Amino acid sequence: MTFLVHNTLTKEKTPFRSIEEGVVRMYNCGPTVYGRPHIGNYRSFLFADLLRGWLEYLGYTVHQVMNITDVGHLTDDDVADAGGDDKVEAQARREKKDPREITEGYTAMFLEDMAALGVREPKARPRATEYIDEMVEMVERLIELGHAYRVGDNVYFDVTSFPEYGRLSGNRIDDLEAGKRIEVNEEKRHPADFALWKSDPAHLMKWRTVFGEHGFPGWHIECSAMAKALLGDRIDIHTGGEDNVFPHHECEIAQSACANGVEMATYWMHAKFLQVDGGKMSKSLGNVYTVPDVVARGFEPRHLRFALLRGHYRTQINFTWAIMEEIRSRLENLDELAVLLSRAKGAEGGDPEAGREHLAAARDGFEAGMNDDLNTPVALAALEQFRRPLLDGAVGSAVASEALEWLGRAGEVLGFIETSEPEADVEIEALIEQRNAAKAAKDWAAADAARDALVAMGIELQDTPDGVVWRRR
Ligand code: AMP
Ligand code: ZN
């Protein structure tokens, strides 16, 4: 099976090949913890989780790292050399708290939401403040190699030292200069150079390092250093939301390639922004929703997971409460697959091999969709179409049993469908088994006891030449 992935670096969809056979190293940009992440953020995180799930379905061992940004992400972050306030510190002032209380509090909420959304645990969730030494080391190395320079206690990356700068985003150095979106900073050799290390005595979270007394890292160097520390110099996949393409990932590529002498990641993958009510989420419209907001409206977190994964990650999707209602009923139908399959599995008589083509269509359609750059709409349609033949009783017991096993694996990837057999059915099947075994052993008392237990559950048994058939009264 070929898994095609779209690479922002090449703008092409190409077959996925890992550096090490059977192993994938993946780094996902995580949240900046200055507020509870909103549902848009979760679109990006769930995309990363879905990707991991699909790689595991394909048999890879996935070493996944998702960071937590707890320092250095400044407010004016649409330019490479960001300015403004540290987002965490600005929030600390608003809430009259210590910055670390802010990051601890919002990290806890983030982890709570991730658990509620059924996100798999990565190998590590590094916090930027825990990797200051590694960042400093990388910055020193960049200076040594002539890719960065110090001005007083600040350190800048020299973009002219990396001719490939701009390859990911298409923002060439010359265009950036001409665009004049860059603030004039006399210290810098080139206006497009960006800070690797900043000094500011007024900054609350600061470290004494070789660069001076009151420094803190630039946001971009954080991810370069954490990825290197936890996954090594070469990784397979790096993900984020579309706004990370520039400047964040463009700068990461430059720093890592220059410091390590090798290309950081083979594939760069980006999720498109979620829209809410057909537009950008905004505080003034009051539609910057969080996971608890969705739960407060009577939805389960898995409904949100479905809503955020229902569209292909590179297409625009919208969130509204009306869409959530549709999701609720679509999910009821998907949940019913396991119930219908469980019935079909237990049914006696008929051709156990019937309907194999329906299972093949569901499995092939699902796999073809997922292999096409995680095209979830195609994959989901294949699952949804499997319901009809089940309602029509067109699937035999052997096929149903196999389908249940496969549905479990597909459901594991998606993470929002109920795929276990209904408990009651499992119990009924077990009692029928017991009764059959007792009858075979001529233990009539035990056989009657099993039948009585079934009758007490409202189950009617009928002994037919093909075996026992049961139905609810
Ligand atoms: P931040 O907390 O701002 O560092 O963002 C965390 C992640 O969420 C980044 O990868 C962003 O690209 C992503 N993100 C932010 N807003 C949205 C959105 N509306 N839809 C999808 N991803 C988003
Ligand atoms: Zn990052």
Average pLDDT in the 208-217 region?
97
**Residue bearing the CA closest to ligand 1, atom 6:** 31
The 3-state secondary structure of 77-115, one letter per residue:
CCCCCCEEEEHHHHHHHHHCCCHHHHHHHHHHHHHHHHH
What residues have CB less than 8 Å from 448, skipping those under 6 apart? Answer: none
User: 72, 46, 22: which is closest to 204 by C-alpha?
Assistant: 72
Please tell me the predicted confidence (pLDDT) of residue 346. 86
CA of 68 relative to ligand 2 center, distance in Å: 9
Average pLDDT in the 401-430 region?
93
What residues have CB less than 8 Å from 455, skipping those under 6 apart? Answer: none
Cβ neighbours of 420 (radius 10 Å): 12
Please tell me the predicted confidence (pLDDT) of residue 182. 63
Name the band, by pLDDT with cuts 50, 70 and 90, for residue 223. very high
Is 156 among the domain residues? Answer: yes
Atom of ligand 1 nearest to the CA of 73: 4
Average pLDDT in the 459-463 region?
82
What is the C-alpha radius of gyration for the chain, rounded to an integer number of angstroms? Answer: 27
Residues 168, 204 within the same domain: yes
**What is the amino acid identity at position 176?**
L
CA of 365 relative to ligand 1 center, distance in Å: 30
Q: What is the pLDDT of residues 262-303, one digit of tens each?
A: 999 999 999 999 999 999 999 899 999 999 999 999 999 999
CA of 77 relative to ligand 1 center, distance in Å: 12
Please tell me the predicted confidence (pLDDT) of residue 263. 98
**Whole-structure pTM value:** 0.91
Average pLDDT in the 376-399 region?
97
Please tell me the predicted confidence (pLDDT) of residue 449. 92
CA of 212 relative to ligand 2 center, distance in Å: 25
Does residue 247 have a cis peptide bond before it, meaning omega lies within 30 degrees of 0?
yes
Ligand nearest to the CA of 223: 2
As a whole-number percent, the residues of the chain with pLDDT over 70 amount to: 98
Name the band, by pLDDT with cuts 50, 70 and 90, for residue 459. confident
Name the band, by pLDDT with cuts 50, 70 and 90, for residue 36. very high
Beta bridge partners of 20: 23
Is 187 among the domain residues? Answer: yes
Please tell me the predicted confidence (pLDDT) of residue 140. 98
Q: What is the pLDDT of residues 143-200, one digit of tens each?
A: 999 999 999 999 999 999 999 999 999 998 877 765 556 667 889 999 999 999 999 9
Is 280 among the domain residues? Answer: no
Residues 437, 406 within the same domain: no
Residues 370, 396 within the same domain: yes
Residues 354, 205 within the same domain: no
- Examine the fold and report which residue of 230, 246, 271 is the final residue of a domain before the chain moves on: 271
**Tokens encoding 325:** 């209602």
What residues have CB less than 8 Å from 353, skipping those under 6 apart? Answer: 396, 398, 399
As a whole-number percent, the residues of the chain with pLDDT over 90 amount to: 87
Is 377 among the domain residues? Answer: yes
**Residue bearing the CA closest to ligand 1, atom 15:** 41
Residues 373, 453 within the same domain: no
Is 286 among the domain residues? Answer: no
Residues 23, 168 within the same domain: yes
Average pLDDT in the 93-101 region?
97
pLDDT at residue 122 greater than cutoff 60: yes
- List, as ranges, residues with CB under 5 A of the ion ligand 2: 29, 223
Please tell me the predicted confidence (pLDDT) of residue 466. 67
Q: Say how many domains are in the chain.
A: 3
DSSP letter, residue 262: S
Residues 227, 132 within the same domain: yes
**Residue bearing the CA closest to ligand 1, atom 23:** 41
Atom of ligand 1 nearest to the CA of 31: 2
Residues 164, 206 within the same domain: yes
CA of 177 relative to ligand 2 center, distance in Å: 24
pLDDT winner (highest mean) among 73-87, 118-132, 167-181, 437-451: 118-132
Output phi, psi for 267, to 5 deg. Answer: -120, 135
Residues 223, 235 within the same domain: yes
Please tell me the predicted confidence (pLDDT) of residue 444. 94
Please tell me the predicted confidence (pLDDT) of residue 349. 83
The 3-state secondary structure of 345-402, one letter per residue:
HHCCCCCCCCCHHHHHHHHHHHHHHHHECCCHHHHHHHHHCCHHHHHCCCCCHHHHHH
Average pLDDT in the 368-372 region?
98
Average pLDDT in the 407-432 region?
92
**Tokens encoding 177:** 């200069």
Distance of alpha carbon 122 from alpha carbon 52, whole angstroms: 9
CATH number of the domain that residue 402 is part of: 1.20.120
Is 308 among the domain residues? Answer: no
Residues 70, 199 within the same domain: yes
pLDDT at residue 113 greater than cutoff 60: yes
Ligand 1 contacts (CB < 6 A) are: 29, 31-32, 40-41, 43-44, 69, 240-241, 243-244, 271, 273-274
Q: Which domain holds residue 462?
A: 424-472
Residues 42, 131 within the same domain: yes
CA of 240 relative to ligand 2 center, distance in Å: 7
Residues 414, 460 within the same domain: no
Name the band, by pLDDT with cuts 50, 70 and 90, for residue 238. very high
Q: What is the pLDDT of residues 298-356, one digit of tens each?
A: 999 999 999 999 999 999 999 999 999 999 999 999 999 999 999 999 887 899 999 99
Are residues 159 and 254 in contact, defined by beta-carbon separation less than 8 angstroms? yes
